[in-house]
Amino acid sequence: MGEPTTKAAPALPSIRGIGEMRHLGLLGALALLVVVGLITRPENFATASNLVSILSLAATIGVITVGATFVIIGGGIDLSVGAVMALASVWATTVATQSYGPVVVAICAILVGTGAGLLNGWLIAYGRLVPFIATLAMLVAARGLAQRMSDRKTQLISEGNFSIVELSTTRLLGIPLLVYIFALVVVLGWILLNRTTFGRRTYAVGGNPEAARLAGIDVRRHSMLLYGLSGLCCGIAAILIMARTTTGSSTHGDLYELDAIAAVIIGGTLLTGGRGTIVGSILGLLIFTLITNLFILNGLNTSDQLIAKGLIIVVAVLLQRRNLKERAP
């Protein structure tokens, strides 16, 4: 994991190259994991079905990670993502919602997610709650509301709404549709972050809120929108998880917030805000998913898997700090 980064570091042509450089390190780590997979499980690692299962697994958290990247670059944190996704999945699969057909189910999931996100954002930006507290409260409350709505039961998607499930069963070029949705969200997220005023302001608000304010940016409104965006991503993720599991449940997305935040951090986004990339977050997420996959393929203990993930977070952050020092003037 550390090999490629350390070797490439001194060869930097310019400071501007560091962004890509860091991704090079992540790509190296990813390649290393692939090699490990090929060596330990040559017969089932490089199969089409295994790759599809990795991507399908990554898709749900992946969409959430895109939203989390925005929030964290904007200097905030969203702990409620898993719970909001669960709530959206439950709300969208109630008997009442399902009676209107698959389109309404999908729209419902998106509206619930966005609404919860905007509420987070409003509490943080205008109610001046600390993001950690506001979204922690949302985590607990959304999970509770989901339990209450579903009566703690798993809600199946009814026959009439099976087109939702088809997102995971229908394949285009051998890849399930939900992976395409994930890819689309990543591309749109990248464009939003890198090519629009919204993205530029996200970096500004996270990097130096006072400078952003004095430059005439409505910092509060922007923060609120960031959480709304994160909620929107949770709503889309809810559709994906309903497609994959054919259910809506209050237990969906448990601890997704930690995976999403970990992926963002491994991807080189600063928790203090102002710097980070979507590509990095997605690479971080793929590294995480690949580790899970390798542990399962090799029949290893899931507890060891958690330990490995913990180590990776620490190593990734230590490497990034080294990078930071190198670029300091």
Partner 1 sequence: MLVMKGIVKQFPGVRALDGVDLDVRAGEVHCLLGQNGAGKSTLIKVLAGAHQPDEGTISFNGAEVRPGSPIDAIKLGFATIYQELDLVDGLSVAENIFLGHEHARLGFVNRAAGRRAAREVLERLGHPEIRPSAEVGRLPPAAKQVVSMARALSHEARLIIMDEPSAALAHDEVANLFRIIRELTAQGVAVVYISHRLEEIREIGDRVTVLKDGRTVAVGLPARETPTQRIVSLMTGRNVEYVFPPRGGREPGEEVLRVEGLSSPGVFGDVSFSVRAGEIVGLAGLVGSGRSEILEAVYGARPATGRVLLDGRPVRRGVVGTVRRGMGLAPEERKAQALLLDQSVTANITLGTLPGFARFGWIDRKRERAEAQRLSELLDIRPPDPERPIRTLSGGNQQKAVLARWLLGGRKLLLLDEPTRGVDVGARAELYAVIHDLAERGIGVLLVSSEVPEVLGLADRVLVLREGTVIHEGEAGELDEHAVLDMIMNGRAA
Which residues here bind partner 1, judged by CB under 8 A?
15-16, 195-198, 200-201, 203-204, 207-208, 210-218, 274-275, 329
Q: And the tokens for 160?
A: 């009439």
Residue 64 contacts by C-beta under 8 Å, 6 or more apart in sequence? 81, 82, 85, 230, 233, 234, 237, 253, 256, 260
Q: How far is the CB of 221 from partner 1 (least distance, A)?
A: 9
CB atoms under 10 Å from CB of 94, counted, come to 15
Q: Which is nearer to partner 1, 18 or 291 (CB)?
A: 18
User: In which residue are the tokens 């409350």 written?
Assistant: 141
Q: Which two tokens stand for residue 248?
A: 């809506």
Nearer to partner 1, 166 or 218 (CB): 218
Q: State how far the Cα of 89 lies from the Cα of 81, in Å rounded to an integer.
A: 12
CA 284 to CA 223: how far, in whole Å? 24
Contact 64/284 with Cβ under 8 angstroms? Answer: no
Shortest Å, Cβ 19 to partner 1:
10
CB nearer to partner 1: give 86 or 204.
204
Contact present, 21 and 4 (Cβ < 8 Å): no
CB nearer to partner 1: give 152 or 221.
221
Q: How far is the CB of 44 from partner 1 (least distance, A)?
A: 43
- For every residue of 45-80, DSSP letters joined together read TTSHHHHHHHHHHHHHHHHHHHHHHHHHHTT-----
> CB of residue 206 vs partner 1: minimum separation in angstroms?
9
Do the Cβ atoms of 164 and 240 come closer than 8 Å?
A: no
* Closer CB to partner 1, 168 or 202, in the complex: 202
Nearest to partner 1 of 92, 224 (CB atom): 224
CA–CA gap between residue 83 and residue 146 (Å, rounded): 8
Closest separation between CB of residue 73 and partner 1, Å? 11
Least Å distance, CB 267 to partner 1, is 16
